[in-house]
Structure 1
Amino acid sequence: MGILNKIFGTNETTSEDKKVIPWNQLQSLEQLNEIIEESKSIPVAVFKHSTRCGISRMVIKQFESNYTIEASQLKLYYLDLLNYRDISNEIGHKLQVMHQSPQLIVIKNTETVAHASHYEINSIDLEQFI
């Protein structure tokens, strides 16, 4: 049945299917200020994602498949660039990071401690900021 499952699919779930990424939505400018303040007590990462971009879609899938950090160790935020471009612009201004898409920005103690865009995102070792 192995070859048939590959051709027609299967209803079985794997441990990867059950993996839950602890995303928090970033949807307001006020929330951005709270996130920066929050970074005093827990490291924060903001993933800026363009839902229309194939590269962004590929990078976020790779990021999610490799993500292993517990929600209590790092707060992970997701920003939909198409719906919240004003927030992205404010992130660039407040954190002194030029806008890219996709982009990951790590904030600790109100400061940007790491940032990367495109395929470089997956080379950031987030565990070093915990």
Structure 2
Amino acid sequence: MQWKNITDLTQISQIQNQKGYSLIFKHSTRCSVSSMAKRRFEMDWDSIPENTSLYFLDLISYRDLSAQIAETFQVHHESPQILLIKDGDCILDASHSDISAVEVAEMINT
């Protein structure tokens, strides 16, 4: 699996209009907690079904996009943070030590 970088507003609309599951990982490149959460997530991401689109946001470089993601999916901004999107709706919002690829996989597989 591989991350798709979010770098412009049109991608957020595409994710919102996409059918199926998408996951957004919001990452602060200046934060050791965020780096640890990302590493832990990536160690287990083989449990996530392959048809899940995985998106990555460097929120230091794209702070405005992070705010737009929070508004679009009606979540409070946090970092690090994952959002699991199904058919345009956020069905899972987790941050910090609650970020879990296993939990994401369980949500998708139920």
TM-score over 0.5 (shorter chain): yes
Alignment CA distance shift 1:54-1:84 (3 Å):
same
Kindly indicate whether the alpha-carbon contact (under 8 Å) linking 2:41 and 2:101 is maintained by their aligned counterparts in 1: no
Which of these residues, 19, 31, 39, is aligned with residue 61 of structure 1?
39
Which of these residues, 19, 35, 43, is aligned with residue 15 of structure 2?
35
Q: Which runs of 4+ in 1 moved over 4 A?
A: none
Considering only aligned residues, what root-mean-square deviation do their CA atoms show, in Å?
1.4
Unaligned stretches of 5+ in structure 2?
A: none
Alignment CA distance shift 1:115-1:26 (3 Å):
same
1:83 maps to which residue? 61
Equivalent-residue separation in structure 2 for 1:80 and 1:95 (angstroms):
18
Aligned residue-pair number: 107
Q: TM-score, normalised by structure 1?
A: 0.77
1:129 maps to which residue? 108
1:50 maps to amino acid: S
Unaligned stretches of 5+ in structure 1?
A: 1-20
1:28 maps to amino acid: D
Q: What is the SS of the residue equivalent to 1:125?
A: helix
Q: What is the SS of the residue equivalent to 1:45?
A: strand
Deviation at 1:35, TM superposition (A): 1.1
Deviation at 1:125, TM superposition (A): 1.5
Q: Which is bigger in relative contact order (C-alpha 8 A, separation at least 6)?
A: 2
Whose radius of gyration is greater, 1 or 2? 1
